[in-house]
Amino acid sequence: VRPPPLLAKTQRPRKGSNEPNNRHHSEPELPKKKKKEGTMKFRPCIDLHAGKVKQLVGATLTDTGDETSENFSTDRPASEYATMYKDDGLTGGHVIMLGPGNVFAARAALSAYPGGLQVGGGINESNAQSWLDAGASHVIVTSHVFRGGEIDMDRLKALVELIGRERLVLDLSCRRKPNEPNGPYYVVTDRWQKYTDFPVNEETLKSLGEYCDEFLIHGVEVEGKKCGILEDLVVLLGRHSPVPVTYAG
């Protein structure tokens, strides 16, 4: 609902005065331009684990998969979900490969909805272009550009040079460190198991926004728990991200 327009207050001439009204008018105060508000959109996703479409509890994901908790698993192929998203006109979604054994399913999904889905999981300089050629609108990258707990700017710049900033999504999925429950959120890599020393804050968002088209950020602590969003993280992203953000979790 639009607020009513702001009206400038005027000062009436003194009684008996012959001075024209405009001598006593205050200058009209024009409404200040408001910052253009972003638009929130629903984006679909397909998480692949061991070749199947699943919804996992993010904080339980491990290399072996022995302790991974699942909320949802289906035998319906990823390509079927991709076709459904295409038919419903849902854009900007993604396919995430969580561990090995997911390449065939991911490629089938991209083939079913060419140009309609981003892809992530194990993306690097050697395979990024092949995933774009397979139908991905963007590639999503985390571990390749974070090494030893820090971001590798040389790798990031090389990837941008290879495929272009407009085809790159940086995954800054994050969580708080166990010994800092009220501290900053730090980027986590390798199926969200390894902490980096890279915080998600105003400065880092603005810096990395120059090298990508979008961010993908999972609130790892609540991912898959059906307990609501991390409101403070969402507020941070909404206020300070210079590029579109897909928030999950």
pLDDT of residue 80: 98
- Taking the C-alpha atoms of residue 166 and residue 213, their distance in angstroms, rounded to an integer, is 5
pLDDT of residue 37: 58
**Residue 75: inside a domain:** yes
pLDDT of residue 26: 43
**Residue 95: inside a domain:** yes
Instruction: Tell me which amino acid residue 212 is.
Output: C
Q: For residue 37, with 0-12 CB atoms within 10 Å meaning exposed, 13-18 middle and 19 or more buried, which class applies?
A: exposed
**Residue 233: inside a domain:** yes
Specify the DSSP class assigned to residue 37.
P
Q: 210: left (phi > 0), else alpha (psi -120 to 50), else beta?
A: alpha
- The tens-digit pLDDT sequence of the chain (249 residues) is 334 333 333 344 444 444 444 444 444 454 444 445 567 899 999 999 999 999 876 555 555 555 667 777 899 999 999 999 999 999 999 999 988 999 999 999 999 999 999 999 999 999 999 999 999 999 999 999 998 889 999 999 999 999 999 999 999 999 999 999 899 999 999 878 899 999 999 999 999 999 999 999 999 888 777 889 999 999 999 999 999 999 997
**Residue 147: inside a domain:** yes
pLDDT of residue 58: 54
Instruction: Tell me which amino acid residue 243 is.
Output: V
**Residue 116: inside a domain:** yes
The CATH number of the domain where 60 resides is what? Answer: 3.20.20.70
Into how many domains does the chain fold?
1
pLDDT of residue 24: 44
Q: What pTM did the predictor assign?
A: 0.81
pLDDT of residue 21: 46
**Residue 2: inside a domain:** no
Strands (E), the chain: 45-49, 52-56, 70-74, 93-97, 117-120, 139-141, 146-147, 150-151, 168-171, 174-176, 185-189, 194-199, 214-218, 245-248
**Residue 35: inside a domain:** no
pLDDT of residue 66: 55
Task: Identify the domain containing residue 180 by its residue range.
Answer: 45-248
**Residue 34: inside a domain:** no
Nearest to 200 by CA among 228, 147, 239, 161: 239
